[in-house]
Amino acid sequence: MGKISFMPRENKFFELFTQSASNMSKTARALEDLLKNWENIDIKVAYITELEHAGDSLTHQVAAMLYRTFVTPFDREDIAQLSHVMDDVTDFIHATAESIYIYKVEATTQRANELSEIIVQACAEIEKAVKCLGNRSDLNKVVEHCVEINRLENKADAVYRAALGELFDDSKDTKYIIKWREIYDHMETATDRCEDVANVLEGVALKNA
């Protein structure tokens, strides 16, 4: 017997969430590529900006559909919140790339590379969790992915603290410190927002199990 979807056929919320999660993961991978393959920075930042705009468009589509839909697959507040926090992740990834471009950063750092890897991993877990939302039998897997996202966020916190410690211990010039402090802040906030996504996803899974 095939799996029974708890998502009403007539709505496209699940499809939009899947697209949003995919776009978020693509943005994370683009940032990782920018940092690990340090070339054509302007082109890579422009690409990340395009992805951020695509994320905004998907968020607006969810909001418009929510306004037009009477019966929703799960709580309206959860739909709005999930859309919002996924867009936040993409926004902070974009802010990271934009800061690198605006401040004319000359080279990456090992800590930035580590944080980009964690962001990619967390976004991949979100993408997997979102794909599980459509079937009741898979809702327990959503919680499992959320636990992993929380673990990754804790790992990112440790890397962030180490990055700041090294930043100030190495006695770099003030401009360098200011630039990288902002970049690290954006990256750490992106992982915080991934945890926010996990919290919403876990709530949806538990309510609908």
* pLDDT, tens digit, 9 for 90 and up, residues 35-62: 999 999 999 999 999 999 999 999 999 9
Q: Which residues contact 144 (CB under 8 A, 6 or more apart)?
A: none
The answer to whether position 1 is within a domain reads no
* Mean pLDDT computed over 162-185: 90
* pLDDT, tens digit, 9 for 90 and up, residues 16-42: 999 999 999 999 999 999 999 999 999
The answer to whether position 20 is within a domain reads yes
CATH code of the domain containing 187: 1.20.58.220
Q: CA–CA separation, 157 vs 172, rounded Å?
A: 22
Q: What is the reported pLDDT for 16? A: 94
Q: CA–CA separation, 46 vs 13, rounded Å?
A: 28
Q: What's the pTM value of the predicted model, to 2 decimals? A: 0.92
Structural domain containing residue 46: 13-208
* pLDDT, tens digit, 9 for 90 and up, residues 120-134: 999 999 999 999 987
CA torsion 44-87-29-169 (nearest 10°) is: 80
Confidence bin at 171 (pLDDT 50/70/90)? low
The span from the first CA to the last CA of the chain, in angstroms, equals 19
Contact yes or no for 67/155 (Cβ under 8 A): no
The answer to whether position 108 is within a domain reads yes
**What proportion of the chain, given as a percentage, has pLDDT over 90?**
78
- Number of structural domains the chain divides into: 1
